[in-house]
A and B are shown apart, each in its own frame.
Chain A
């Protein structure tokens, strides 16, 4: 099936550890995005990439890093520098940077 796959669905980490969230799409989309969702808040953009080997910071990039070595993959690393990493993380993709976005199922990260 075509779509966006995020894994794992639930992730637990100890404070101070880096953790990488996976996002893969087989839609042949050029653009990919990472959002963070907290209770009672709207989605906030962390990073986005409009083309392979290129990415830009979103509104809340501090404490996160990304890579875009392949068109279909856009992993997000939550580093120990992120002060409040526990959240629901959503990956999205779109055909281009100017077309509608499709979201994955999300990864719920809990840092203890």
Chain B
């Protein structure tokens, strides 16, 4: 089955700096890569996703890049703000459905004011 590895496990940045979280996956057939943000005591919230026919996708301060050859994808947050502090999870799947998602172990991002 699929194996998703996520790094780093914790990340601290100064407010205004950029943050980058990286994930690798093992199944070359995976073609859907969502990113979730989980705030303390809450459920994960989808913040951005990318499919394998696209190399990069941006949504305001958030971007995701995908390298299918190397089997890795990354989340980039620019101009970080304290409210970006949360745990971020990557996932990979052959299909969009949540029953097919394989999750990384999470990155705890702390934005220091």
Contacts and interface: CB of A to CB of B under 8 A. Distances in A.
Interface of A: 4, 6, 9, 31, 33, 40-45, 48, 50, 56, 58, 90, 92, 94, 96-106
Contacts of A48: 98-99
B41 A99 contact: no
Contacts of A40: 9, 105-106
Interface residues of B, number: 25
Nearest to A101: B98
A40 B104 CA distance: 10
Contacts of A31: 97-99
Given A31-B97, A94-B98, A98-B97, A42 B46 contact: no
B95 interface: yes
B96 A43 contact: no
Nearest to A40: B105
A99 B96 contact: yes
28 contacts: A6-B43, A31-B97, A31-B98, A33-B98, A40-B9, A40-B106, A41-B106, A42-B89, A42-B102, A43-B89, A44-B103, A45-B101, A94-B98, A96-B97, A97-B97, A98-B96, A98-B97, A99-B96, A100-B49, A100-B98, A101-B98, A101-B101, A103-B36, A103-B43, A103-B44, A104-B43, A105-B43, A106-B42
The 4 closest A-B pairs by CB, nearest first: A42-B103, A103-B43, A101-B98, A48-B99
